[in-house]
Amino acid sequence: MRTYDYIVVGAGSAGAVVANRLSADARDKVLLLEAGPASHPWARIPIGYAKLLNNPAANWLYTSEPEANTNGRQLPVPRGRLLGGSSSLNGMAFVRGQAQDFDTWAQMGNQGWSYADVLPMFKRMESYAGGDDEFRGREGPLRVTNPEPRDPLYAALIKAAGEVGIAHNPDYNGASQDGIAMSQATIASGRRMSTARCYLEPIRERRNLHIETGALTEAVVLEGKRCTGVRYSIGGNAFEARATREVVMSAGTINSPQLLELSGIGQPERLRDLGIEVRHALPGVGENLRDHYAPRTRWAIGAKGITFNDRGRGLGLVWQALRYATSGRGMLGMVAAPIRAFVRSREGLSAPDVLLGWVPMLTEPGPKGPKISRQSGVTCYAHPMRPESKGHIHIVSADPRKAPAINFNFLSSPIDAEITARAVRIARSVMTAPAMAPMRVSEIAPGVARNTDDEILEWVKQAAETTYHPVGTCKMGSDAMAVVDAQLRVHGIEGLRVADASIMPTLTSGNTNAPSIMIGEKAADMVLRGRDC
């Protein structure tokens, strides 16, 4: 059996960061276990996003359970399964969230997680040319850029938003999130900036970091209440590795609770029913699941040559490919939603509570992922940013290869339904503002006939999907349902931390890659501080 100082499970947004920072001192031996492969050709090119959404070579391809407010539909739950994890197939939008998201975590009793505490992590992880030095980092490993703003559609949207009271904000990751802005992106020189690219590739030469791909972790090893290592398999062969200091679980919101349960840590009755020996009762494991349930409003655009439906098909696609090959720009190098707005659904709120994101095309489902429609148009998703509805994820088998059951429980909190309907109306108000008139816009979905909250929500239940931001299933906190403490240590177990999106007690206001990377940075600091004690 091999012995390491640290074992990190999962090389995703957070895990790759943890492995990088823990192996910075050549005296520390680190094992990084990743179930998926080292890479995939589509993971380097931004447009590869669409190619990996349905691709089993790099994606766990989970689905949710049917539920009432999805009209019984099972929603796709894509998750990256390769080095870089979901940062290797996500939409590349770079959004930190609001100061108040982290201040709320601190107010919940999580010392060290206020905005003032996490801002240095956000700064040290990134390299971004714009914004204010007080808020932005210049020398971090993760390159963050702005997309091309010179586009008539984006100019019209910014003007239209202004007409309905949504001001232009050039840096929503700066002093304030409010307003409409071009999306900042983890893209540089036309390439996706995943954590594999930015945190693992540059340290390939480190001899003290052993990266094992195709390695499915099956459980952690417990000696009494101490975690001493992990069991994993490669190509059906079983292995065990020992950690003299700590195991850091960074398998993500779906797989971290799955692995805890497979290891006998969770709700006793549930584990016993599956024949798993209960090693430690922890009722919060797999609970507190939150995600963004986002209706995609759809708009036909009558003006010619505006959208990628016009510019990205046939000869247009050839031109786009040439443009990308020569400059790294255009549709093939584009962030998934190049323009977004953070808005308040009503007066009196201290911060925005709704996100609108525009995609300059209409797509439709195809056998290998979304394909570009013949009809020219724009998609605008619109959703509450801090939903209160909570679901759960639990294993249904003691077999680590079996997918856990994912229940989102969407719109179970009435306030989420109310804000969702308002969000759709705000999208409508921007799309029908005078500045959009030259685009010759007409509403496809939800459709002008749907006006009342009930009518809009009926459509939401038929059509909404997630924006792929599940969090919270190994919640940080000190209450009975918390799984980890503010140092990310699993309650009641020594030598085991969780560091990924699953520890977020609440959803951050926006996308979740940047906060997951921040969690990786912070976790590494905590582990290293523990070592020095």
Ligand X SMILES: Cc1cc2nc3c(=O)[nH]c(=O)nc-3n(C[C@H](O)[C@H](O)[C@H](O)COP(=O)(O)OP(=O)(O)OC[C@H]3O[C@@H](n4cnc5c(N)ncnc54)[C@H](O)[C@@H]3O)c2cc1C
Residue 213 makes CB contacts below 8 A (sequence gap 6+) with 11, 34, 36, 37, 38, 82, 83
Backbone phi and psi for residue 301, each to the nearest 5 degrees, phi listed first: -120, 120
- Angle subtended at Cα 425 by Cα 419 and Cα 428, rounded to the nearest 5 degrees: 145
Specify the residue, 144 or 430, whose C-beta has the smaller distance to ligand X.
144
255 secondary structure, DSSP code? H
Backbone phi and psi for residue 494, each to the nearest 5 degrees, phi listed first: -90, 150
Taking a C-beta distance cutoff of 8 angstroms, is the pair 298, 255 a contact? no
By the rule CB under 6 A, 9 interacts with ligand X: yes
Q: Select from 263, 297, 320, 513 the one that contacts ligand X (CB under 6 A).
A: 513
Q: Select from 47, 187, 251, 436 the one that contacts ligand X (CB under 6 A).
A: 251
By the rule CB under 6 A, 29 interacts with ligand X: no
Q: Select from 8, 156, 198, 216 the one that contacts ligand X (CB under 6 A).
A: 216
What's the min distance (Å) between Cβ of 310 and ligand X? 24
Strand 363-366 vs strand 369-372: parallel, antiparallel, or unpaired? antiparallel
By the rule CB under 6 A, 404 interacts with ligand X: no
Which two structure tokens, joined as six digits, stand for 256?
A: 């971290």
Specify the residue, 338 or 495, whose C-beta has the smaller distance to ligand X.
338
Window of 9-17, 112-120, 300-308, 370-378 that interacts with ligand X by CB under 6 A? 9-17
What's the min distance (Å) between Cβ of 53 and ligand X? 6
Measure the CA dihedral 344/345/349/354, to 10°: -50
Specify the residue, 20 or 253, whose C-beta has the smaller distance to ligand X.
253
CA distance 256 to 248: 10
Specify the residue, 251 or 271, whose C-beta has the smaller distance to ligand X.
251
By the rule CB under 6 A, 34 interacts with ligand X: yes
Q: Select from 46, 137, 179, 252 the one that contacts ligand X (CB under 6 A).
A: 252
Which two structure tokens, joined as six digits, stand for 250?
A: 């960074």
Give the 3-state secondary structure of residue 456.
Answer: helix
Specify the residue, 23 or 511, whose C-beta has the smaller distance to ligand X.
511
By the rule CB under 6 A, 286 interacts with ligand X: no
What's the min distance (Å) between Cβ of 232 and ligand X? 7
Q: Select from 23, 55, 70, 86 the one that contacts ligand X (CB under 6 A).
A: 86
CA distance 468 to 12: 15
Q: Select from 259, 285, 427, 460 the one that contacts ligand X (CB under 6 A).
A: 259
Q: Select from 7, 31, 47, 89 the one that contacts ligand X (CB under 6 A).
A: 89
Specify the residue, 145 or 376, whose C-beta has the smaller distance to ligand X.
145
Measure the CA dihedral 195/199/202/207, to 10°: -120
Taking a C-beta distance cutoff of 8 angstroms, is the pair 89, 59 a contact? yes
CA distance 137 to 174: 11
Q: Select from 217, 263, 297, 309 the one that contacts ligand X (CB under 6 A).
A: 217
> Of 259, 234, 180, 244, which Cα lies nearest the Cα of 15?
259
CA distance 269 to 276: 10
By the rule CB under 6 A, 101 interacts with ligand X: no
Residues 307-366 that bind ligand X (CB under 6 A): 336
What's the min distance (Å) between Cβ of 129 and ligand X? 19
Specify the residue, 240 or 453, whose C-beta has the smaller distance to ligand X.
240
What's the min distance (Å) between Cβ of 503 and ligand X? 9
Active-site amino acid positions: 469
By the rule CB under 6 A, 500 interacts with ligand X: yes
Give the 3-state secondary structure of residue 353.
Answer: coil
Which two structure tokens, joined as six digits, stand for 442?
A: 């007409």
By the rule CB under 6 A, 501 interacts with ligand X: yes
Residue whose CB is nearest to ligand X in the complex, by number: 12
By the rule CB under 6 A, 81 interacts with ligand X: yes
- Per DSSP, helices labelled H in 394-494 are 414-431, 453-463
Specify the residue, 251 or 488, whose C-beta has the smaller distance to ligand X.
251
Residues 452-481 that bind ligand X (CB under 6 A): 468-469
Which two structure tokens, joined as six digits, stand for 445?
A: 């979905």
Size, binding site for ligand X by CB under 6 A:
43
Specify the residue, 10 or 477, whose C-beta has the smaller distance to ligand X.
10
By the rule CB under 6 A, 85 interacts with ligand X: yes
Give the 3-state secondary structure of residue 214.
Answer: coil
By the rule CB under 6 A, 512 interacts with ligand X: yes
By the rule CB under 6 A, 64 interacts with ligand X: no
By the rule CB under 6 A, 12 interacts with ligand X: yes
CA distance 20 to 418: 43
Q: Select from 39, 173, 466, 516 the one that contacts ligand X (CB under 6 A).
A: 516
236 secondary structure, DSSP code? T
By the rule CB under 6 A, 35 interacts with ligand X: yes
What's the min distance (Å) between Cβ of 525 and ligand X? 16
What's the min distance (Å) between Cβ of 35 and ligand X? 4
By the rule CB under 6 A, 276 interacts with ligand X: no
Backbone phi and psi for residue 185, each to the nearest 5 degrees, phi listed first: -140, 150
Residue 256 makes CB contacts below 8 A (sequence gap 6+) with 10, 249, 250, 473, 474, 498, 500, 502
Q: Select from 31, 93, 306, 354 the one that contacts ligand X (CB under 6 A).
A: 93
186-212 as b/e, with b when 16 or more CB fall inside 10 Å?
Answer: bbbebbbbbbbbbbbeebeebebbbbb
Specify the residue, 472 or 495, whose C-beta has the smaller distance to ligand X.
472
> Of 51, 85, 63, 359, which Cα lies nearest the Cα of 197?
85
Which two structure tokens, joined as six digits, stand for 117?
A: 């505490």
Q: Which residues bind ligand X (CB under 6 A)?
A: 9-15, 33-36, 53, 78-81, 85-87, 89-93, 95, 216-217, 250-253, 255, 259, 336, 468-469, 500-501, 511-514, 516
